[in-house]
Amino acid sequence: MPAINIDWSKVDQPDLIFQRFASRRSQVYGTKGVVACSQPLAAEAGLEILRKGGNAGDAAVATSAALNVTEPSCCGIGGDAFCLFYDAQTKTVKALNGSGHSPAKLTLDYLRQRGIKGGQIPLTDLNSVTVPGAAAAWVDTVEKFGSHKLSVADVLAPAIRLAEEGVPVSEIHSFNWQRSEELIQNASPNGDEMLLNGKAPLPGQIMKFPNLAHTFRSVAKNGKDGFYKGWVAQAIVDLIKSKGGVMDLEDLAAHDTSFVEPIKYTYGGQVTVYECPPNGQGITALIALGILEQIQEQGKIKSLQDLEHNSPEYLHTLIEALRLAFADSQYYVNDPEFNFIPVDRLLSKEYLASRAKLFDSTKANPKVVHGNPVNSSDTVYFTVTDQWGNACSYIQSNYAGFGTGAVPKGCGFTLQNRGAGFVLREGHPNCLQGGKRPYHTIIPAMALRGDELFLSYGVMGGFMQARQYAHRFPQGHVQVLLNMLRGFTAQAALDAPRFCISAGTPENDDKDDEFGVINSEVYFEDDISPTTITKLREMGHDARTVSGFGRGMMGRGQIIQKIVDQSGRTVWAAGSDPRADGHAVAQI
């Protein structure tokens, strides 16, 4: 199936080109490379690499590292990263899993001895630190997906310059930094490395990160060994052990990136959506799309395209499909190196049809539980495209805002708390084990029409939201994709009001069926009419509204769409979420 073609002469037909939702800003067009991310200075870092002849993979890493400087409240070299790369030459999508494993010596018994009684490791306990995967992901992205014209040192140079010279802090980022001030002060003796005169910086104040620049230079000079061996690794281990953790130098030295086969689902014969496979939760979006397709095929609703956008009927259908999808992914997603995950069965038409049968178009399902597909049984997202047609969909995270808030001495970054994604219950597929990767929430996405790129996109998490909102990623993927298929522009698809299901994860679980149960509140942006909210409540939804900074709960997305004009020339059309501080920029 060919890429979208637009006849630019038909400007008198606005639905062909312009948004169907009143967008808050114009989308960005370019014929060469485009970077769409949540921080303007990080976008400029990516553009710098594109201008030097780097491709989308190179520029993605430059953007990623720069985001560590401009937006450390949600990402950094102390966290993890995932990547999808569209190779324009081969017209294939490749996937990279840059998540880390738990320490080999960490056991459930050890945590119980430390007095941890709940269903998950507390976010501030340094036993929640898994091996940070971002550094290796950066190096491997450049080496495997990059242009081979630029070195890792070349690609990291803009971020190093930003860290040394300092960057003015943006508004939304400052707000969330202030919320984390006490966490950073108390998490380790080295909190001043992430504060300005002992305080969170205010908007416009300049933050310098000389120690982070030193860490980056170590990776630039020595590659992965510059992080996973030597002084950086020692600083990480020293801090974790000082707080009762069990991570060893061997845990860091053993880390490596996983190159994996992406999973996919073709929705309605229109587009094929690609996601990273488990231990990431990208399968949630695919299951939800499959259930939506089956709901329509079973005649339970009119076509989604025929329902009014964000009407009670439309929102109810999406919410129920996502609740069913979350129930499955929350139960089944774990580290495939430790347990079999029935991916093919979860995405089979037969299983999706059985899940769709649970949908009631008139009311919410009072208790959604995971199915049985087998007979026997917070964050930044950005995307980059280049003049050669390649695209890189990239996401990285510390998990809960600054993660643990703990700073290894002299390193200039905070450590993630991804280990809080484990389930502390024997027999659960995602139960903690030494050397295991936890259920991971961050997911990049791509959509193709045939073998041609349609969208490189994703929706990240907001800053410092409670753990139960980490499931916003697949919800954003589904809502934004359906907006695009309705004819919205990339920018309008992101601007449109969204909802967020709070898939609350139990803290204390004594019942075997607690996990894989989705029975929680749904939040809506206040742009959605009170009449609609009232109707949804009548249908049984615990519907609530958010406004202002609370909109961060909805996540923050980026989209780059490929358009082909009459002459066959590619035009990139990009949007950036107004819920963040950034924008999309095009290379000239």
The CA distance from 509 to 511, in Å, is 6
Strand ranges (E), 409-555:
445-449, 452-460, 499-501, 517-518, 522-525, 543-546
The angle that helices 312-332 and 530-538 make with each other, rounded to 10 degrees, is 60
The CA distance from 509 to 517, in Å, is 12
Out of 379, 489, 505, 532, pick the active-site residue. Answer: 379
The CA distance from 557 to 36, in Å, is 9
The two tokens of residue 272 are 């094929």
Strand ranges (E), 184-294:
206-207, 258-260, 263-267, 271-275
Backbone angles phi, psi at 235, to 5 degrees: -65, -40
For 65-95, give the DSSP string: HHHHHH-TTT--TTSEEEEEEEETTTTEEEE
440: DSSP letter:
B
The two tokens of residue 355 are 């899940």
Cα 114 to chain centroid distance, Å, stands at 32
Q: With contact defined as beta carbons under 8 Å apart, do 373 and 550 qualify? A: no
Q: How many helices (H) and strands (E) are present in the chain, helices listed first?
A: 19, 21
Q: Is 222 helix (H, G, I), strand (E, B) or coil?
A: helix
For residue 379, indicate whether it is catalytic: yes
Strand ranges (E), 252-305:
258-260, 263-267, 271-275
The CA distance from 248 to 306, in Å, is 57
Q: With contact defined as beta carbons under 8 Å apart, do 547 and 497 qualify? A: no
Q: With contact defined as beta carbons under 8 Å apart, do 155 and 58 qualify? A: yes
Catalytic residues: 379
